[in-house]
Amino acid sequence: MTSRKPKRHLRILVLALPETAGSVLYGLVDVLMSTGSLWQSLVREPVREPPLDVQIASTSLKSFRCGNGIPVSPQVSIGENPSADIIIIPELWLGPDEDLHGRYAQVTAWLRERYRRGAYIYSVCSGSLLLAETGLLDGRDATSHWGYQELFESRYPKIHFRPEPSLCFADAEGRLVTAGGATSWHDLVLHIISRHVSPGEALRISKVYLLKAHDEGQLPYRALVKPRQHPDSAVRDCEVWLSTHFAQSGAVAGAVRHSKLAERTLKRRFKAATGLTLIEYVQNLRIEKAKQLLETSSTSADAISAEVGYEDASFFRRVFGRRAGLSPARYRRMFQRASRN
Across 117-130, average pLDDT: 96
User: 166 with 272, same domain?
Assistant: no
pLDDT at 8: 53
Q: Is residue 4 part of a domain?
A: no
Question: What whole-number distance in Å separates Cα of residue 228 and Cα of residue 237?
Answer: 13
pTM of the model: 0.84
Axis-axis angle for helices 278-296, 328-340 (nearest 10): 50
Task: Read off the pLDDT band of 158 (50, 70, 90).
Answer: very high
DSSP secondary structure letter of residue 97: T
User: 194 with 308, same domain?
Assistant: no
Question: What whole-number distance in Å separates Cα of residue 297 and Cα of residue 299?
Answer: 5
pLDDT at 40: 87
Q: Tens digits of per-residue pLDDT, 42-99? A: 888 887 788 999 999 999 999 999 999 999 999 999 999 999 999 999 999 998 888 8
User: 238 with 315, same domain?
Assistant: yes
User: 203 with 265, same domain?
Assistant: no
User: 329 with 182, same domain?
Assistant: no
Structural domain of 328: 233-340
Kind plus residue range of the DSSP H or E element containing 142: strand 141-142
Cα–Cα distance list, 148 to 2, 144, 157, 294 (Å) = 31, 7, 13, 26
User: 200 with 283, same domain?
Assistant: no
User: 36 with 120, same domain?
Assistant: yes
Q: Is residue 53 part of a domain?
A: yes
User: 109 with 142, same domain?
Assistant: yes
Across 218-234, average pLDDT: 89
Task: Read off the pLDDT band of 340 (50, 70, 90).
Answer: very low
Domain count, the chain: 2
Instruction: State phi, psi for 238 to the nearest 5 degrees.
Output: -65, -40
Question: What whole-number distance in Å separates Cα of residue 8 and Cα of residue 58?
Answer: 24
pLDDT at 1: 44
SS3 69: helix
Q: Pick from 195, 219, 243: which residue ends a domain?
A: 219
* The pLDDT of residue 206 is above 70: yes
b/e map 227-244, b = 16+ CB within 10 Å: eeeeeeebbbebbebbee
Q: Is residue 3 part of a domain?
A: no
Q: Pick from 219, 243, 268: which residue ends a domain?
A: 219
pLDDT at 339: 45
pLDDT at 228: 81
Cα–Cα distance list, 6 to 32, 116, 175, 201, 225 (Å) = 14, 21, 16, 11, 45
pLDDT at 272: 93
Backbone φ/ψ region at 174: left (φ over 0), alpha (ψ -120 to 50), beta: left
User: 242 with 214, same domain?
Assistant: no
Task: Read off the pLDDT band of 177 (50, 70, 90).
Answer: very high
Q: What is the mean pLDDT of the chain?
A: 92
